[in-house]
């Protein structure tokens, strides 16, 4: 196994739950963290509850870990003050703890919403400038820059994985382009954790979907080879969803509904 102890933040969430069993293949000990209840530790697991806004709690969760898979934080559009605490201050607390405790590598769950204001008719690479579509997307763009600074200044390697839509199945037509299966998510994170030289890298987290807006040619050194595809769901998704209104910003831009999300409306 590549690592002795990996910290998984956001372990109580949708992706955290999907990775909780899978990441045990990558380490001897998987330390789970969240501010929400994580239940009992299973074999090979440790639990370290922490609010990302609490520097001391984050420091304690990071101490003794070799690598971090950082999924914790607000995962949709929300008021700026909430995003500030979890996604911006939280990132600072996490990287400061990583620096103090000598963590060498981080996989950061960034998001396609860093570039959500590119059009669905455009193909972009990791070299295209950020065009965030929400406070949430801006916070992930901050995370990408912040982790680049910690790489250039302190040598902590980070993969910023711009996850598309990682759910059991694509929920709508947009997700046929953005879908990332849970198994491919684990393959991608494993590749980020094990590639000999990661540096500071940005990679789009997507399965091998026929329709795509993202070109991962800048991330070949990660060695990620997706095995799944949204194509098997295509007919069923088309049958159960209406044709999009092509004047709707949600159908024009890659970020879909996030480009018109109201941060003050409760989800
Ligand atoms: P989720 O919302 O289900 O899980 C996020 C977890 O973070 C929750 O368990 C929550 O309790 C925890 N959290 C929130 N604020 C916190 C705080 N202040 N301190 C400690 N923990 C806190 O989200 P999901 O879908 O599992 O996503 C995981 C990560 O991947 C998130 O960072 C999200 O932005 C990112 N992502 C997910 C995508 C997806 O399709 N599921 C797409 C793009 C990015
Ligand atoms: C995200 O960043 C969200 O965390 C997730 O809930 C999905 O909405 C996803 O993007 C998406 O774009 O489908």
Domains plus CATH for the chain? Answer: 3-260 (3.40.50.720)
Q: 165 CB under 6 A from ligand 2? A: yes
Residue 211: CB atoms within 10 Å:
14
Is the predicted ipTM greater than 0.90, yes or no?
yes
106 has pLDDT over 60: yes
CA atoms within 13 A on the CB side of 154: 20
User: What are the CA-CA distances from residue 152 to residues 70, 97, 156, 158, 202 (Å)?
Assistant: 19, 17, 8, 11, 15
Q: Which residue has the tokens 């969760």?
A: 61
- Measured in angstroms, how far is the CA atom of residue 73 from the centroid of ligand 1? 5
Tokens coding 17: 């739950």
Closest ligand by atom to 116 CA: 2
266 has pLDDT over 80: no
Q: What is the mean pLDDT of residues 67-77?
A: 98
Helix, strand, coil proportions of the chain in percent (round to 5)?
40, 20, 40
Q: What is the pLDDT of residues 205-233, one digit of tens each?
A: 999 999 999 999 999 999 999 999 999 99
Q: 115 CB under 6 A from ligand 2? A: no
- Ligand 1: which residue has its CA nearest to atom 34? 75
Closest ligand by atom to 163 CA: 1
pLDDT at 200: 98
pLDDT at 267: 57
Q: 26 CB under 6 A from ligand 2? A: no
Catalytic positions: 136
Closest ligand 2 atom to Cα of 14: 6
Helices (H), 6-121: 14-22, 55-62, 80-83, 90-101
| CB-defined site of ligand 1, < 6 Å | 10, 12-16, 34-36, 51-53, 71-75, 86, 90, 109, 111, 163, 165-166
Q: What is the mean pLDDT of residues 189-203?
A: 98
159 has pLDDT over 90: yes
- Measured in angstroms, how far is the CA atom of residue 97 from the centroid of ligand 2? 27
- Ligand 1: which residue has its CA nearest to atom 9? 13
Q: What is the pLDDT of residues 60-71, one digit of tens each?
A: 999 999 999 999
């Amino acid at each position: 196994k590549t690592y002795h102890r990996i910290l998984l933040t956001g372990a109580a969430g949708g992706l955290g739950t999907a990775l909780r069993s899978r990441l045990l293949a990558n380490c001897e000990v998987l330390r789970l963290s969240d501010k929400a209840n994580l239940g009992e530790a299973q074999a090979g697991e440790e639990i370290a509850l922490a609010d990302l806004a609490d520097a001391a709690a984050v420091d304690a969760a990071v101490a003794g870990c070799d690598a971090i898979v950082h999924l914790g934080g607000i995962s949709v559009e929300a008021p700026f003050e909430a995003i500030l605490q979890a996604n911006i201050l939280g990132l600072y607390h996490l990287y400061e703890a990583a620096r103090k405790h000598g963590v060498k590598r981080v996989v950061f769950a960034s998001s396609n919403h860093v570039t959500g204001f590119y059009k669905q008719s455009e193909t972009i690479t990791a070299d295209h400038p950020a065009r965030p579509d929400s406070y949430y997307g801006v916070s992930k763009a901050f995370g990408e820059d912040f982790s680049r600074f910690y790489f250039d200044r302190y040598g902590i390697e980070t993969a910023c994985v711009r996850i598309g839509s990682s759910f059991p199945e694509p929920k709508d037509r947009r997700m046929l382009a953005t879908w990332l299966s849970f198994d491919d998510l684990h393959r991608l994170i494993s590749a980020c954790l094990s590639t000999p030289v990661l540096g500071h890298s940005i990679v789009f987290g997507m399965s091998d979907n026929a329709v795509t807006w993202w070109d991962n040619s800048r991330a070949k050194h990660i060695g990620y080879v997706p095995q799944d595809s949204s194509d098997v769901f295509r007919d069923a998704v088309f049958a159960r969803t209406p044709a999009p209104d092509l004047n709707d910003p949600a159908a024009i831009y890659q970020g879909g509904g996030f480009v018109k999300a109201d941060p003050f409306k409760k989800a």
